[in-house]
Amino acid sequence: MRLLLLLACLVASPWAVAEVYKSLPPTGIEIDAAVAQKLKTRVADLDLEIASQKSDATDASDWTPDVEVLVRAVRLALQQNLFFKESEVKDASRLLDEAERRLKAAKSGDRGLKLLGWNGKASKEPTLLVGGFTSDIDDSVQPYGLVVPATFSENFSGGRGPHRLDVWLHGRGDTKTEIPFLKERMTKVGEYAPAGTFVLHPFGRHCVAFKFAGETDVYEAIDHVAELVSVDRDRVAMRGFSMGGAGVWHMAVHDPTRWFAANPGAGFVDTIVYQGWTEKSPVEWTPTRTKLLNWYDVLPWVTNLRNTSLVAYSGEVDKQREAAERVTAAAKAAGIEYEHIIGKDMGHKIDPPSAKKIDGLLQRLAKSDPPSPRRKIDFVTYHLRYHQADWLSVEGLAEQFSPGRVGAELVDDHSVKITTDGVTRLRLNFAKSGWPGDAVPVRVDIDGQSVEAVDGGKAKGLQCELYRDGDWKLERDFAKTLRKRPGVQGPIDDAFCGRFVFVSPSRPAVHGNVQRWIDREMAYASQRWQTLMRGEARFVKDTDVTEEMIASCHLVCFGDFTSNRYLAGIAGGLPIQWNKETIAVGGKSFDPVNHAVAMCFPNPKNPHRYVVVNSGMTFREFSNTSNSRQIAMLPDWAVIDVTAEDDTIFAGHIAADGFFDEQWKLKE
């Protein structure tokens, strides 16, 4: 009888029993207590010395990350029990030795590459360096590796002008946290080290396939390295293998004009097929969740490969070859062909002949001079986070996660032809090239009509914005109306790709069930950010939110609309009502005793930043087993039954969820 009751409960509530998934990163080994204490003491002493030198320096932000990144790696391993081999204890000690050397070098005036250990001379072999940069997302110091080409020296640049940069995205390693990553980057050149080329190895938040904050880190790492050496922005290649190959696939299709070449090796390209969920899935793929797959699934974006040069690689017998073949087939159907190199008899590995061929192809591509400005663009976006293709920017979509397509071509020196589908707003920005080079108005033929585009920017070159209101019109005063726009277009997870701060409530929620759920979710969001995303969870009380935070941060507020003072102050500007008696979402109502709201919305006090309610990243432990599961699981808003258990997929039973429309209003 007891078994029958249990089965009945399981049928009635599919989220009642949570499956246990592995921790990411996993738990480390126990190290000798005396050795651990010695490392802790050294970390504390170095923290004090860094603080002391920082207070005496006027350029502390230029050099302290290169020291702090080494100390932080050891601190996190001690705090989170992340030593996985006995040898990593010695590696930790060596990192602290290097931090001490850098502190002395910084005091002597060394900066940049010299502080990292480069001697300023050309050598027979590439020089391997590691460094750190301060993330704009959370002020954490994130590591990277840099391979300096052998020919590079203070007196000889290894070639005229700025330098080619290859970005290499690493494969998955559950135990490759900061110490193993830094050790590897200090001792191994890596898969490729092309002659005369700097190679950047981003950490990418450890194990998230260079998505979300890991994606932001790649861009920040590139910008950071460009401050250390002269980088040719027209000769940056995106490369990687396995998990890194998956990262290259999505970087190539989302931001195609940024790279002179993209070189994915293996890597998944979608979730449903890769996970084998075409017939049976542990997740119900509602229309809302299916739309969210268009964020990181590659195939919907495949036509963007027209805008870059792709050189793909697969091992002949590698299981991940199927993913690349699916992209190849979809691209070919769209009239796009590219080089797909197959490693003979290879499994999940790059063979030397293929590596040599790939390097030769990229070397030839790097020697070609790209036209400036680009004459033709064929761009699709499903999400305004990815809105830029060279001089063309999609500023508005008919609907997020549905395709917005633009074909644009420079017809002659003073005219542009554009066709669109699913796009409501465009920006043209020729500041980089200075096109058309004089003040003559440019004729824009767009969707069969003609618009005279007058330059509205301060820099040289045409800069203007067009919007569709029946016909296309020139925007003379960039609209201040509330709308989804690049950087504030949802869904909830988008807020964690930019600068944010957690805002804790100063009072309890009206209902006890809800308060207990809020306490749990706030602790979970903090822990998840610090462990999975290798970040710093920055908290502020609702009564201590400053104007600077409102101006620069997404505010991630926990509480109901009365317990969190900040939420109480803006509740009238939010489209969902939540009080003691009801949660009202459009025409629907939910019992506030057993339900809570999670959502993102433009902050009424600063619509260029989000306010997020009761949610951290929406992919939970269920995603730990595969990077292809690390996907947005909630849209712009959700009402959650707090009496249901956390099932490692959702924070409770999702009673309702959805997207706001393009004006941030509730859909019918």
Residues 128-169: tens digit of each pLDDT: 999 999 999 999 999 999 999 999 987 654 545 699 999 999
Distance of alpha carbon 439 from the chain centroid: 38
Residues in the chain: 668
Q: 377 is written with which tokens?
A: 């663009």
pLDDT value at 1 more than 90: no
Nearest to 488 by CA among 322, 643, 601, 647: 601
| Residues of the chain above pLDDT 90, percent | 91
Q: What is the pLDDT of residue 85?
A: 97
Q: Which residues pair with 396 in a beta bridge?
A: 425
Cα angle 132-137-142, degrees, rounded to a multiple of 5: 20
Half-sphere exposure (CA, 13 Å, Cβ side) for 264? 30
| Total tally of structural domains belonging to the chain | 2
DSSP for residue 422 = S
CA nearest neighbour of 654 among 295, 292, 397, 403: 292
Is the residue at 542 inside a domain? Answer: yes
What integer pLDDT is reported at residue 641 of this predicted model? 98
Residue 419 falls inside a structural domain:
yes
Identify whether 464 is part of a domain: yes
The label of the residue with tokens 């302290």 reads 64
316-325 pLDDT per residue, tens: 999 999 999 9
Mean pLDDT of all residues in 43-53: 98
442, part of any domain: yes
Determine whether 136 is exposed, middle or buried from the number of CB atoms within 10 Å of its CB (0-12, 13-18, 19+).
middle
Strand 392-397 with 423-429, pairing: antiparallel
Q: How confident is the model at residue 16 (pLDDT cuts 50, 70, 90)?
A: very low
Tell whether 409 and 441 lie within a shared domain: yes
Domain co-membership, 410 together with 497: no
Beta bridge partners of 577: 584
Rounded Cα distance, 388 and 386, in Å: 6
Residue 178 lies in a domain: no
Beta-carbon contacts of residue 403 (< 8 Å; ≥ 6 apart): 300, 380, 381, 382, 421, 422
- Tell me whether residue 377 is exposed, middle or buried, using C-beta atoms within 10 angstroms of its C-beta: 0 to 12, 13 to 18, 19 or more: buried
- Domain end residue (candidates: 445, 475, 505): 475
- Which residue has 């602790």 as its token pair? 523
- Please indicate, yes or no, whether residues 525 and 394 belong to a single structural domain of this protein: no
One domain for residues 636 and 580: yes
CA–CA distance, 280 with 302 (Å, rounded to integer): 26
The verdict on residue 207 lying in a domain is no
* Predicted local distance difference test score (pLDDT) of residue 12: 33
Q: What integer is the mean pLDDT of 404-432?
A: 96
Percentage of the chain exceeding pLDDT 70: 96
- Residue 613 CA to residue 492 CA, distance in Å, equals 9
What pLDDT shows up at residue 161? Answer: 67
285 CB-side CA count, 13 A: 13
| pLDDT of residue 13 exceeding 70 | no
Q: Tell me: pLDDT of 3 over 60.
A: no
Same domain, 409 and 546: no
Whether residue 13 is contained in a domain is answered as: no
380: containing domain: 376-475
Whether residues 468 and 548 share a domain: the answer is no
Residue 479 in this model has a pLDDT that exceeds 70 = no
Let me know if residue 421 belongs to a domain.
yes
In degrees, to the nearest 5, what angle opens at C-alpha 288 toward C-alphas 22 and 12? 65
Q: How confident is the model at residue 455 (pLDDT cuts 50, 70, 90)?
A: confident
Summarize pLDDT for 345-379 with one digit per residue, the tens: 999 999 999 999 999 999 999 999 889 999 999 99
Is 506 strand, coil or helix? coil
